[in-house]
Amino acid sequence: MKNFNFIILITILFASCKGLLPYSKYYERDSRNSTFLKNSYQKTNFIKVSKMVLCQNRNESDIRVSKTKGDLVFNKMQIEKSIQNSFQKSFSNIIYEPNKITNWETSCNNFTKDILMNKNIIPKNETNRAYHMWISFDIDYTIEKNLDFSGFWGASTYEDIADDISKIKFKLVTSLFYNDSLIYMDNHAYNTWIRTVRGKPFYYEVPQNIIDSLVTKSLAEYKKRLQT
C-alpha cells in the first residue's frame, strides 16, 4: 500500500512539474554543433563583423483549440543595434561593415561548425581580413491561447484564461575567423515566456540585458583562453 501511495505522489508531482517547466526562464548552451574551441587565442582589439543574420520562426501549437490569430512582432533594427552595442563592450575597436537591409531569415541552422569550417564558405574577398566575425541571432517561438488544462495526460477539459501565451527562445551564435579559418564558435540561448492580448499582434522589444548576457556568455570561453 505504501508503494502504491508513493507512486501516486510521484505521478502528481510529475504532472505538476510538467505543467510548469515550459514556462521557466533560463539560459543554456543550446547546441554542441555550434561550438568550436581551441586551447588558446591571441588577444585582438580590432575586429570586423562581416556578416550578421537574423532569423525568426513561429511554431504552431500542436493542440487545435490552442491555436490563435495573435502573433509577436520584432523590430529588426532594434535587435541589430542592441547586438552591436553589446559587442562593442567586448572589443575596443569593432567595425560593422555596411550591408543592405535584409528581410528576416526563417532559419539559422547553417550556423554550425561543420558548415563554417568549410573554407569555401568564406568569400574570397574576406580571406585576407585577419580577424572577422559572423553573428547569427535566432528567434524561435510558439504562441497559443492561454488555456489551463485540468486532469492528467490527454484531459479534454480546460479553463480559458482569455489571453495568449508565447514561449520564446533567443539564440546567439558567435563565430570568429582568422582569414578563411574558423577559430572560435560558441552559442547560448535564453528561454522565456510572455502573456499578451488574445488574438492581437504584440510588438516585442528584446531587452538589452538579455542580449548583453547572450553576448557575454557566447564570448566567455574565448576570453577564458586568451594568452596573457
How is the chain split into domains, by residue range? 25-224
For 4-18, 93-107, 127-141, which range has the lowest pLDDT when averaged over its residues?
4-18
Q: 508503494: which residue's cell? A: 3
What pLDDT is recorded for position 98?
62
Rounded average pLDDT over 101-130: 76
Q: Is the pLDDT of residue 196 over 50?
A: yes
Element (DSSP H or E) covering residue 47? strand 46-59
Rounded average pLDDT over 151-159: 63
pTM beyond 0.95: no
Are 148 and 159 spatial neighbours (Cβ–Cβ below 8 Å)? yes
As a whole number of Å, the end-to-end CA separation of the chain is 65
Residue 94: other Cβ atoms inside 10 A: 16
Assign residue 130 a region: left if phi > 0, alpha if psi is -120 to 50, beta otherwise?
A: left
Instruction: Determine the Cα–Cα distance for residues 146 and 161; give it in Å rounded to an integer.
Output: 6
**Residue 88's closest CA among 227, 217, 216?**
216
Rounded average pLDDT over 48-75: 91
What is the rounded average pLDDT for all residues in the chain?
A: 83
Assign residue 151 a region: left if phi > 0, alpha if psi is -120 to 50, beta otherwise?
A: left
Instruction: Determine the Cα–Cα distance for residues 101 and 15; give it in Å rounded to an integer.
Output: 46
What confidence tier does 23 reach under pLDDT thresholds 50, 70, 90? low
What pLDDT is recorded for position 186?
96
What confidence tier does 79 reach under pLDDT thresholds 50, 70, 90? very high
What pLDDT is recorded for position 21?
44
What pLDDT is recorded for position 8?
42
What confidence tier does 156 reach under pLDDT thresholds 50, 70, 90? low
